[in-house]
Structure 1
Amino acid sequence: MKVGLFIPCYINQLYPQVGIATLELLEKLGVTVYYPQGQTCCGQPLGNSGYEEDSKGACQVFVENFKEYDYIVGPSGSCIYHVKHHFDILEQTPDVIKVRNNAYEMCEFIVKVLGITDVGASFPHKVGLHKSCHGLRGLKLGSCSERMDPYYSTEEELLNQVKGLELMPLTRKDECCGFGGTFSVFEEAISVKMGKDRIHDHLDSGVEVITGADHSCLMHMEGLINRNKQPLKVMHIAEILNTSM
């Protein structure tokens, strides 16, 4: 298969190690990965702020960069959700439909397309999993506590196979962290309070490392952790899955 690697803006600018870990992990699993040099933002920030019409150019550039690949894989549930569910603002040409249908969040791609749950990682730490809203409720990467569906979690399937890793149970395991993109800018006080609540749940559960599949949420919590000098480390799930002793 021919896979196009999509690296979101904030990972490219602030957390390049996550992009590198994603690339290395996919290559370890035997995937031939290409990185389109012309890729830019997927258009999500504009869309989330109510300016979807102004995001059409960015969306179309995304399609042009990724239309030739069998799959598009990215380490971000929110950005992949935007591609799959908000590119309906474009004319639904065969290229647009192909890109929307073949865009996958990294964990989902590994489990559902490659059929792999044990990636050979080793990470002897107590880990708390943050399930981002877009990934959980948008991409259906797991079951939601407010529904009566049978329990499942794509991210947990991968983490449970990591040698030495102890996945710690949380009191409110699928609650929003309060980031919400521009919500954290326009509703700062509410966003901060929600983030602090999520962090305390991890602390109360004995977590050493918070992980997740969406680094925007992790970035929000990491900022609060660092500001309050709390004893927690934050790592994207790609970094953990790419770790070996």
Structure 2
Amino acid sequence: MRYFVQFSYNGKAYHGWQNQPNAITVQQVLEKAFTTLLRADVSLMGAGRTDAGVHAKQMFAHFEVGEIVDREDLIYKLNSFLPEDIAVQEIFEVLPEAHARFDASERTYEYWVCQEKNPFYTDSAYYVKHPLDISKMNQAADLLLKFKDFECFSKSNTDVHTYLCEIKEASWVQKDKIVVFTITANRFLRNMVRAIVGTLLEVGTGKSTVADVKSIINSKDRSKAGYSVPAKGLYLTRIIYPDTITTKHG
């Protein structure tokens, strides 16, 4: 039977989601917990990959195993077994063909910027001391919705076949000394959000203009875009799936 698991994690201690040789990852730790408790080899397919140090407030993966009789009990045992920085919220049955990665219709990320030195945000936000022009940053963010090709924000030498993404939301909101960028799209390229944030921060500090951002996107050249901001401020916050993954239609 195929199941989805919903979970969250603080990415500080991990080299991203996906299994890698000689590095501890979230996938590795979760698979070990499932395999130990279910006494069967469990392989997880995640909704996507997050880079080293990136956090997830909501993440999904699918796996196959015999019938789970008491899902609530399994969730309790998993959370007791897992380290404090990974938590499981839900396990639910899906159709045999449901896929955690390919069936996701949209994903949302947040990036947190702290405008003052704050020990409570040292590991969870990017400290930027320079004043930021939020209005201009939002003007630049609005431009993203008018484009489809984001090669300029993609990590170099990746194996992607297309740089096309449909961005549905991109905006900055200031909450006291914390500035939060929220972006929603059907898919994201590797390092895309961190490169976008770095580019928009340069607009906010006056190093570049809103018009520059339009030129950067049209250039399709990563070297013309802004720097990649640190992973610690990035959060995967929401993944949307169609209801049909759990409903049989005749």
TM-score of the pair, normalised by structure 2: 0.27
Q: Which has the higher helix share?
A: 1
Could you say which structure has the greater relative contact order, defined with CA pairs below 8 angstroms and 6 or more residues apart? 2
Q: Choose 1 or 2 for highest CA Rg.
A: 2
Q: Which has the higher strand share?
A: 2
